[in-house]
Amino acid sequence: MAKKNYQAMAKGIVEKAGGEGNVASATHCMTRLRLVLRDTAKFDIDGVKAVPGVLNVIIQNGEYQIVIGQDVPDLYAEIQKFEGIKAGGTVEDAEAAAKDLAQDHGSVVNGILSFIGGTFSPVIPVLVAGGLTGAVLSLLTSVFGVPTDSGTYTVFYAINQATFYFLPVFIGFAAANRLKSNGFLGAFLGAILLYSTINGAEGLDFFGIPIQTITYNSTVFPVILGVLFMSVIYKFLQKYVPVFLKTIFVPLLTMLITVPVTLIVLGPIGNTAGTLLANGVYAIYQAVPPLAVMIIGITTPLMVFFGMNNATYPVVFALIAAVNSDPLICTGMAPANVAVGGACLAAALLAKNVEEKSVSISAGVTALCGITEPGVYGVLFPKTYPLVGAMIGGGIGGLLAGLLGMTQYVISTPGFISLPAYIDPNGSSYNLIVSLVVMIVAVVLAFAATWLLGKRAEAKRS
C-alpha cells in the first residue's frame, strides 16, 4: 500500500482551491478536509479530485468537503502550515462565502441536515469512547468479576455516565460553532440546563411563568433549539452593541435572554419533539422490525454519500432514551458498514490497477471497522457494482438483524471494532453472538455479490 505524501497533497489541494489567499478557513472531521472559500469560482473541483490521495469532493452549504479517509488529520497538519489559512476558525469573508453558496446551491432540508450532521460529527469521538466504556464495564463485572462497589468500577462508570449526562454541553459547543456563534456560550447553555436546580426541577417558575419539568441530560433537542435562538441573539448584539461595551454586555445579555426563553418555550418544544420522534420511529420498528432494519441496511451507503448519516444521531439518542438501546439505526448500519468492507475487498481482487487495489483494500479494512466514507466515495460509487453488492449484503444482514432482534446498547460507530457495544448489560451473550453472525453474513454476501457482478461487468467490457 503506497504511503501518502501529505505535504504534496496539501500543496496540490490549496493550489487547485484557488491558492492560499482563497481559503478562508480549514477544519476537518473524521474523514474529510473542510474548506470555506472566499471566491468559489476559483475552486477547480476536477483538479482537486485529481490530487493523489483525494477520494472525492462534496459541496454542502458553503463548505468544500474533500474526502480523504481516517488519515485526514495528517493532511490537516500540513494545511495548518500555510500561514494565510485560518485553521480551525472562521473570518467574516468565510461566513459571507458560506451564505452565498448556501443560497445558490442549498435548500432548507439540506441546510437542516448539514447543521445536524455538522453538530454531531465533532462529538462522535466522545460518544465512541464513553459508549464503549459501558461495554468495558459489562466485561469487567461479568467476565473478570470486578465488584460494582470497587474503585475500578467507579472510575470506568464515571467515564461512561459523564459522556451522556454532559452531552448537552458538548452539543451546545458544537452547535454554536457550526452556526459561527460563540461555542463557549453554547456549552454554557448546556451546563445551565444540567445544573441541579434546573435539570428535572419541579415547581419552578420565572416571574410567575411556570417552567416545565424536563430531564435535560436525557435529550439533545432542547439545547439544539436553545443554541439556534442564542446564535440569533448573539449575532444581533454583536452587530449593534458599541465596541467598547461588547466584552461585557454581549455575553451577559445573550444568556439573560436565551436561558428563560429556552426554559419556558424551546425546552418543552424540544423535549416533546424528541419524545414524538422516539415513539414514532419505535412504532415503525415494532410494526415490521425486519423490514425497518433492512431498509436502514440497504440505504446506509446512500445516506453516507449524501452526508445524511450523522443526521440520524438525534433519532439514535431518542431511541436510547426511550428503550435503553437502538434496535434500528445503528443496528441496521452495522451490517451495512461491514458490507461496504466486503464489497471493497471483492473490488480489490477484481482490480487490475495497483492504485485501485491499494485504495480498495484500505477502504475495505476501514469499512470493516465502521468508517465507510473512503469506500463509498472511492470504490462503491465510481464502479457502481460494488455499491449494488454492498446494498445486497447490508439489506440481507439488516433483515436478519430484525428477525433475530439484534440491538446496539451503546452509541458507537457500527462495525466489527465496536462489537463490545452489542454486549447485553444483563450478562446474556445472545445479542453479541447474533451481532457477530449478522455482520459476518453481510460481509460474505456483499463480497460474493460484488465478485459476481464485477466478473459480469468485466466480461461485458471485454
Which of left, alpha, beta for 402 (phi over 0: left; psi -120 to 50: alpha)?
Answer: alpha
Give CA–CA dist 315/334, Å, rounded: 16
How many CB atoms lie under 10 A from the CB of residue 137? 23
- 385 and 295 in a single domain? The answer is yes
Residue 152, domain member (yes or no): no
How many CB atoms lie under 10 A from the CB of residue 431? 22
Residue 147, domain member (yes or no): no
Output DSSP code: residue 416. Answer: G
Number of helices followed by number of strands (H, E) in the chain: 20, 6
Q: Are strands 63-67 and 56-60 parallel, antiparallel or unpaired?
A: antiparallel
Residue 313: which H helix or E strand, with range?
Answer: helix 313-323
- 275 and 347 in a single domain? The answer is no
Give backbone dihedrals phi and psi of 61, rounded to 5 degrees, phi first.
45, 55
Give CA–CA dist 248/260, Å, rounded: 19
Residue 391, domain member (yes or no): yes
The number of domains in the chain is: 3
Q: Bigger pLDDT: 58 or 230?
A: 230
Task: Determine the average pLDDT of the residues in 71-95.
Answer: 70
Angle at alpha carbon of residue 94, lines to 93 and 98, rounded to 5°: 115
Question: What's the distance, Cα to Cα, between the start and end of the chain in Å?
Answer: 28
Output DSSP code: residue 4. Answer: P
**pLDDT at position 461:** 67
Give CA–CA dist 359/53, Å, rounded: 9
Residue 149, domain member (yes or no): no
Give CA–CA dist 440/449, Å, rounded: 14
- 298 and 278 in a single domain? The answer is no
pLDDT digits (tens, 9 = 90+) for 189-221: 999 999 999 999 999 999 999 999 999 998 889
Query: 15-24, 296-305, 310-319: lowest mean pLDDT where?
Result: 310-319
Domain boundary among 284, 318, 343: 284
**pLDDT at position 101:** 39
Domain boundary among 284, 314, 349: 284
Q: What is the mean pLDDT of the chain?
A: 88
- What's 40's domain CATH number? 3.30.1360.60
pLDDT digits (tens, 9 = 90+) for 87-101: 553 333 334 334 443
- 232 and 197 in a single domain? The answer is yes
- 277 and 412 in a single domain? The answer is no
How many CB atoms lie under 10 A from the CB of residue 267? 24
Residue 114, domain member (yes or no): no
Range of the domain at 234: 166-284
Domain boundary among 106, 123, 154: 106
Task: Determine the average pLDDT of the residues in 125-151.
Answer: 86
Confidence of residue 385 (pLDDT cuts 50, 70, 90): very high
Edge-first strand listing for the sheet containing 63-67:
23-28, 32-37, 63-67, 56-60
Residue 116, domain member (yes or no): no
pLDDT digits (tens, 9 = 90+) for 151-177: 999 999 999 899 889 999 999 999 999
Residue 425, domain member (yes or no): yes
pTM of structure: 0.73
Give CA–CA dist 54/278, Å, rounded: 38
Q: Bigger pLDDT: 346 or 61?
A: 346
Give CA–CA dist 310/433, Å, rounded: 27
Tell me the three cell numbers of residue 307.
452526508
- 187 and 326 in a single domain? The answer is no
Residue 157, domain member (yes or no): no
HSE (CB half, 13 Å, CA atoms) of 13?
A: 34
- 293 and 386 in a single domain? The answer is yes
pLDDT digits (tens, 9 = 90+) for 223-258: 999 999 999 999 999 999 999 899 999 999 999 999
pLDDT digits (tens, 9 = 90+) for 270-294: 999 988 888 888 888 989 999 999 9
pLDDT at 38 over 80: yes
68 CB-near residues (< 8 Å, 6+ apart): 9, 31, 32, 33, 53, 54, 55, 75, 374
- 309 and 233 in a single domain? The answer is no
- 263 and 220 in a single domain? The answer is yes
Q: Is 29 a catalytic residue?
A: yes
Identify the active-site residue in 29, 330, 344, 369: 29
**pLDDT at position 25:** 85
Give CA–CA dist 343/366, Å, rounded: 12
Cell 452565498 belongs to 100
- 278 and 321 in a single domain? The answer is no
- 306 and 452 in a single domain? The answer is yes
- 324 and 186 in a single domain? The answer is no
User: Could you write out the DSSP letters of every residue in 10-76?
Assistant: HHHHHHHTT-GGGEEEEEE-SSEEEEEES-GGG--HHHHHTSTT--EEEEETTEEEEE--TTHHHHH
Query: 197-201, 305-309, 420-424, 440-444: lowest mean pLDDT where?
Result: 305-309
